[in-house]
Amino acid sequence: MKISTRGRYALRVMIDLAEHDNRGYLPLKEIAARQEISQKYLEGIMADLSKADLLEGLHGKGGGYRLARAPENYTVGEILRLTEGDLAPVSCMEKGAAPCALSNRCKTLPMWKDFYRLVNSFFDGITLADLSKNAAFESDYVI
């Protein structure tokens, strides 16, 4: 499994909004500058996050974006599934996949199912609040 730039940038933007949550609506230009991400690229991501009601957007003077909920009410899993789609490790486990003719005798399917549960459980156990304020997740790396 590899998380794309889209998923990583969505997380960075959501963390940025969580860290600046007390300022109200934040202009996309400011977010893009702080995160060193193309504003044009972020527009598509923000549209998807807004459409899914993860963000609230306001046009015009004083406009921008803000979180629709408190940072502790967002999980990394929710954001990644929105931007990446299903986090299934193999195509036969993706939502809407045709049933595999070999699934009843597949020796690796139980392993993939366990991995899928672990990945979802891991990402669903981390909130934006954890990433923005918890020292356990602080480091010099960038997602």
Quickly list H helices, the chain: 5-19, 28-35, 39-51, 76-84, 109-124, 128-133
pLDDT of 11 reads 97
Distance CA 91, CA 20 (A): 38
**Assigned domain for 100 exists:** no
39: domain range?
A: 5-86+127-137
**Assigned domain for 120 exists:** no
**Assigned domain for 114 exists:** no
Count CB neighbours of 92 within 10 A: 16
Closest Cα to residue 79, out of 23, 133, 143? 143
The number of domains in the chain is 1
Helix axes 76-84, 5-19, angle to 10 degrees: 140
**Assigned domain for 106 exists:** no
State pLDDT tens for residues 6-49.
Answer: 999 999 999 999 998 777 899 999 999 999 999 999 999 999 99
State pLDDT tens for residues 46-66.
Answer: 999 999 999 999 988 888 999
